[in-house]
Amino acid sequence: MSKWMPFFNKNEKEIQTEKIDNVPNHVAIIMDGNGRWASERGLPRIAGHKEGMEVVRRIVKEAVEQNIKVLTLYAFSTENWKRPKREIDFLMRLPIEFSNKYLPEMIENNVRIKTIGEFDSLPAHTKRSISHAKEKTKQNDGLLLNFALNYGSRDEIVRATKQVIQDVHDGTIAETDIDEAVIAKYLYTEDVPDPDLLIRTSGEHRLSNFLLWQLAYAEFWFTDVMWPDFNEQIFLDALKDYQKRKRRYGGI
Ligand code: FPP
């Protein structure tokens, strides 16, 4: 019996999928369109984020089933602080709600939770809940579920650059040792392999300051579907399309 069975029927839209081969190791997703999805239904924007959280749970489950190693989800950018306070407050409570509802099944399914982004300036209650989820899942060696929270790629690169300069100044590293691998170690993603596949929903075709360094050789896949309508089958469509891609990394 699937380890997920006790949690079935929580979400009636859940879809059974087949297992596929040659999946990407690391999938990154820009979960876009929550606000438009809600507005189209005459609902407040936060209703879209709430529904989006349920989709996160379903896609995590599918990623586990498909043996994907890392799933990085863009949940809140450094630019999202410009949104109305009510929406920010709601988004900052989502990790708490996610943890309250789904941490037991994350633990049960060997999922390890981490974050990338500037953690310290998140609200205290958000940090507490995330730290708890990280602590409870730190021994797990299945899917790494990586939430990008208060994340901005340019900010990440600036921070890394300053730290590299500091370490050269302190003599921790020599200037001559600096190469791509060293720089990668200074990013939030440190020991996580680069994404193989980037998915963006809602019909937008841009990176929005997401993993600019790490996505250098990723395959991109776009859908017009708004994130709250994204599901296991559409996720599989992306994975199957990825299987057909020829990755040349600049070679022939
Ligand atoms: C972008 O859509 C989405 C976000 C800024 C938030 C994404 C967050 C979730 C899907 C939930 C995350 C769950 C956890 C557990 C942290 P938008 O609001 O910009 O949509 P719009 O472009 O239609 O306005």
Res. 5 pLDDT band, cuts 50 70 90: very low
Query: pLDDT tens-digit profile of 191-216?
Result: 899 999 999 999 999 999 999 999 99
Q: Is the CB of 31 under 6 A from ligand 1?
A: yes
For the chain, what percent of residues have pLDDT higher than 70? 95
Question: 80 catalytic, yes or no?
Answer: yes
Residue 14's contacts (CB-CB under 8 Å, 6 or more residues apart) are 8, 58, 232
For the chain, what percent of residues have pLDDT higher than 90? 88
The confidence score (pLDDT) of residue 11 equals 52
Q: Is residue 159 part of a domain?
A: no
d(CA 200, CA 226): 9
Q: Is residue 1 part of a domain?
A: no
Give me the torsion for CA of 22, 27, 30, 35, rounded to 10°: 70
d(CA 214, CA 151): 13
Give 250 Cα–ligand 1 centroid separation in angstroms.
Answer: 33
Give 183 Cα–ligand 1 centroid separation in angstroms.
Answer: 29
Q: Residue 87 CA: which ligand 1 atom is closest?
A: 18
Helix axes 124-137, 85-108, angle to 10 degrees: 10
The confidence score (pLDDT) of residue 250 equals 83
Read off the pLDDT of each residue in 18-44 and give the average, rounded to a whole number.
96
> What pTM value is reported for the model?
0.94
Taking CA atoms, 226 is separated from 17, 140, 180, in Å, by 20, 31, 35
Query: pLDDT tens-digit profile of 58-98?
Result: 999 999 999 999 999 999 999 999 999 999 999 999 999 99
Q: Any idea what the Cα angle at residue 23 is, between residues 22 and 28, rounded to 5°? A: 155
Q: Is residue 166 part of a domain?
A: no
Q: Is residue 15 part of a domain?
A: no
The confidence score (pLDDT) of residue 126 equals 98
Domain of residue 223: give its range. Answer: 21-152+196-242
Position 4 pLDDT exceeds 60: no
d(CA 180, CA 11): 43
Position 6 pLDDT exceeds 50: no
Assign residue 119 the CATH number of its domain.
3.40.1180.10
Question: 32 catalytic, yes or no?
Answer: yes
Domain count, the chain: 1
d(CA 32, CA 228): 9
d(CA 53, CA 94): 7
Q: Is residue 81 part of a domain?
A: yes
Q: Is residue 44 part of a domain?
A: yes
Q: Is residue 78 part of a domain?
A: yes
Q: Is residue 110 part of a domain?
A: yes
